[in-house]
Copies of this chain bind each other. A is one copy, B any other.
Amino acid sequence: MPITLSQRFDRDIMSLRIIATGGTFDKHYFPLDGSLGFGASVLPEALARARLTEPCEFQSLMAIDSLDMQDHHRQQILAACKSAPESRIVIVHGTDTMCDTAAVLASATLGKTIVLTGAMVPYAIAGSDAMFNLGSAITAASLSAPGVWIVMHAQVFAWNAVRKNRAAGIFERSD
């Protein structure tokens, strides 16, 4: 069962950081060449739209397609999680290598609740799942134990029990 509200330290509830690392969620359309790429993160707008009442810190760490991530990018994300004063962190990430970053974070045993999420359709495009997944992820971060979790299409997966099924465009249990 989830930890009831009376068991949480107030400071703990309020202790949430959202880290943007790019991914489909944050892609923009560039009219001059018709490409999809990165500009300013959409997360500030998305978070304002969510009408959050608890303070949350937003950090724009990088803006990269996760297929282009190399180990140093994942180490950067790990460093940001380590140095974050917050005990609950939501990382918006490309879906293609989300599991790889999750593994790096889990191996560090940070004792924080870290949730990775993303989107299959950019926030900026009609029919996006971005806001839905963001709501899922922030809620999962408030209810889940310390550890590393992947949250997509309303499902919460332990980091080591999930894979992306690229052909179907979904995440599924791998255990």
Q: Are A129 and B34 in contact (CB under 8 A)?
A: no
Q: Are A50 and B153 in contact (CB under 8 A)?
A: yes
Q: Are B54 and A155 in contact (CB under 8 A)?
A: yes
Q: Are B121 and A31 in contact (CB under 8 A)?
A: yes
Does A108 make an interface contact (CB < 8 A)?
no
Residues of chain B within 8 A (CB-CB) of A154 are: 50, 52, 54, 135, 138-139, 142
Chain A interface size range: 35 or more
> A144 and B143 in contact (CB under 8 A), knowing A29-B121, A127-B49, A132-B134?
yes
Residues of chain B within 8 A (CB-CB) of A127 are: 49, 124
Query: Once bound together, how far apart are the Cα atoms of A71 and B6, in whole Å?
Result: 31
Count of chain copies: 4
Q: Are B129 and A139 in contact (CB under 8 A)?
A: no
Q: Are A51 and B138 in contact (CB under 8 A)?
A: no
Among B50, B156, B166, the residue within 8 A (CB) of A2 is: B156
Q: How far is the CB of A124 from chain B (nearest CB, A)?
A: 5
What are 17 A-B pairs with beta-carbon distances under 8 A?
A2-B144, A4-B158, A5-B158, A24-B34, A36-B36, A49-B127, A49-B129, A50-B154, A51-B169, A53-B153, A53-B171, A124-B126, A125-B126, A126-B126, A132-B135, A136-B136, A136-B138
Interface residues of A (CB under 8 A from B): 1-6, 24, 27, 29, 31-32, 34, 36, 46, 49-54, 120-122, 124-129, 131-140, 142-145, 151, 153-158, 161, 166-173, 175
